[in-house]
Amino acid sequence: MGISEARAAARKKRAAVDQGANPNEESKAEVRLRAERKRTQIPLSKAISQYDEEVLAHHRTGQATKRALDGKKGLLRKLAKRPLSELSREEIADAVRATAKTSPISANRKLAYASAFFNWCIDEGLLAYNPAERIRKPGKETERDRFHTLDELKEIWSAASTLGYPFQHLFHLLIVLPNRREEVGAIPVADLDLGDDEAPDQGIWLLLGKRTKNASALRIPLSPLARAIIIEAMQHKERPKDSKYLFTTTSDTSVSGFTKAKRRLDRAIHDARIKAVMDSGGKAEDVERMPHWTIHDLRTTFNTHACEILGVPPHVADRILNHIATATRSKIMRVYNKSELFEPRRKALSDWAELLHDRIGEPRPGKGGTPSIPKAA
């Protein structure tokens, strides 16, 4: 800038000051604007890493959420190198549609995770708007309504008895205790208080909050049947005795391979149906398969029969399932009433075990059925 240009610029600035302008504030605003532009130009991958460090790392399912965002099949994987502020709604929508071609329900979940991530970016000043906003879920979701009849439960119980440790005992326990598959499959022995044979209905499983879907800890009363199944699994010759887990094949980790075990169970159910038909003079090709079901349906089965047959109050059944119980308790009650409903749950699970004894035919503990805990224990 030459002298004459500098003098002209100075006169212009002086005139602006005379009219009320503040050059210092304007300079600070320019600095802030440059910093803002620099910050919003960070790559998407860096923003996700920051989100992981500040948010996801503190969530129980944080790593699964991160994989849904930028993992091998992550929704935003192909956009990872793009500047965050340049992402468009059309690009996110295209990624959602591509995922939905093979996994529409998964696309729904990943879209929700992405929207939460972009909202965090807005809060952090990294974005001005959410590019995933108003993108429709591609998959239609229906409420679970599959539950087993008691005759079907008897079939599942009998077929599970052919699987051996650990899945024989695991499937039996999932029927008796309607907890989530991951919760039952990874029970630490240290979290079990089995009491003694003089009071077989006083056992308790302490389910820690860090192992639940909603981070809500729960003391779970063990019916004599549940206790007997646990003891039998604990004493089984195929269980590594030094493992901290009730169900394990490696000693170091809890049991895995649920998909293969479920296929084995389904085959055993169908084989039993074929045998029953052929023993009565029928043909194998006339045998119908059990309608499709998932392990999670065992929870719905308990809830349905407990309420309809045993008369268990819905809010007690909800607490057994460790639900928030939004359908049966008001918001105020959920906030101020922290009761475990322990004794009502104990009675409900005991009545459920009695119903299983009567309708499935499993002998009661101490009457030729499952063993009792050794005195030394």
- pTM of the entire predicted model: 0.64
pLDDT at 26: 65
What is the CATH number that goes with domain 150-360? 1.10.443.10
Rounded Cα distance, 183 and 208, in Å: 10
Contact call for residues 158 and 272 (beta carbons, < 8 A): yes
Rounded Cα distance, 377 and 369, in Å: 20
For every residue of 63-84, DSSP letters joined together read: HHHHHHHHSTT-TTGGGTTSBG
pLDDT at 143: 56
pLDDT at 41: 77
Rounded Cα distance, 158 and 265, in Å: 10
- How crowded is residue 357: how many other Cβ atoms within 10 Å of its Cβ? 18
Pick the CATH number of 23-141 from 3.40.50.720, 3.40.50.300, 1.10.150.130, 3.30.465.10: 1.10.150.130
Rounded Cα distance, 117 and 133, in Å: 11
Phi, psi for 207 (deg, rounded to 5): -90, 110
pLDDT at 335: 42
Domain ranges of the chain: 23-141, 150-360
pLDDT (tens place) for every residue of the chain, 377 residues total:
788 888 888 888 888 788 877 777 766 666 555 555 555 578 999 999 999 999 998 886 788 899 999 999 999 999 999 999 899 999 999 999 999 998 888 899 999 999 999 999 998 888 888 999 889 998 876 656 689 999 999 999 999 999 999 999 999 999 999 999 999 999 999 999 998 888 888 999 999 877 776 667 789 999 999 999 999 999 999 999 999 999 999 999 999 999 999 999 999 999 999 999 999 888 888 899 999 999 999 999 999 999 999 999 999 999 999 875 444 444 444 444 446 789 999 999 999 999 999 998 888 886 444 444 443 33
Question: What is the three-class DSSP state of 29?
Answer: helix
- How crowded is residue 157: how many other Cβ atoms within 10 Å of its Cβ? 19
Rounded Cα distance, 119 and 19, in Å: 41
Please name the residue that has the structure tokens 């929870």.
299
Rounded Cα distance, 312 and 307, in Å: 5
Rounded Cα distance, 236 and 166, in Å: 9
Rounded Cα distance, 295 and 262, in Å: 8
Rounded Cα distance, 260 and 65, in Å: 25
Which tokens hold the place of 216? 């809500």
Phi, psi for 357 (deg, rounded to 5): -55, -45
